[in-house]
Amino acid sequence: MSIFAAYNHSPSSSPPLVQMQHGQQLATTLINNGTFTPSHTSPNTFPWDDLFTILSDDQPLAVGSDGMPDRGRGVAFEHAANCIFMKPFALQNGMYFGTRSQIVLAAFAREGGQHGPWHVELRERAMLGDAVQIGEHDGRQGVSKQPWSSVVHSFDVAANGVAT
């Protein structure tokens, strides 16, 4: 089992952010603990909730300026944004910044083995409504426990790579 991740918050020339490293460590722990097994050959047995739990980790990963990127927004911003799941918080311009959706993509080998055909499933969760409420929470703007809306996309890919 391999863990692949795409991250769109940092240029490719930048060193990996601690959020990515921490998420990959948590996913690797799931693999090493047997959460992912060869029996996960279909979306019905795949541990989706375990991966969404990782994506929902809102604990700050570094204190002070050590290990935090410098995106030119100041230490307070970097501290608030230095977790896998960023609770939406107010910027100086009144706009909000934070995680609003999460995606897990998995491919399952069909009868052809590891070279295809494949069944691919993408599950996305997005916060419903306005997730930001006025008030303090961990020194940041408070976030309500809004329910998530969910969508599932699934398709099959033939051994030659053509979606069916």
Tell me the pTM: 0.74
Least confident range from 33-37, 81-85, 132-136: namely: 132-136
Per-residue pLDDT, 82: 80
Instruction: Report the C-alpha dihedral over residues 150, 156, 162, 163, rounded to 10 degrees.
Output: -40
Share of the chain above pLDDT 70, in %: 65
Per-residue pLDDT, 45: 82
Residue 129: strand, helix, or coil? coil
pLDDT tens column, 87-103: 777 777 877 778 888 99
pLDDT tens column, 123-152: 999 887 554 443 334 444 444 455 788 999
Cα angle 31, 33, 39; round to 5: 65
Per-residue pLDDT, 123: 94
**All structural domains of the chain with their residue ranges:** 18-157
Q: Which amino acid is at 126?
A: A
Residue 62: strand, helix, or coil? coil
Can you tell me the distance from the alpha carbon of 91 to that of 88, in angstroms, rounded to the nearest whole number?
9
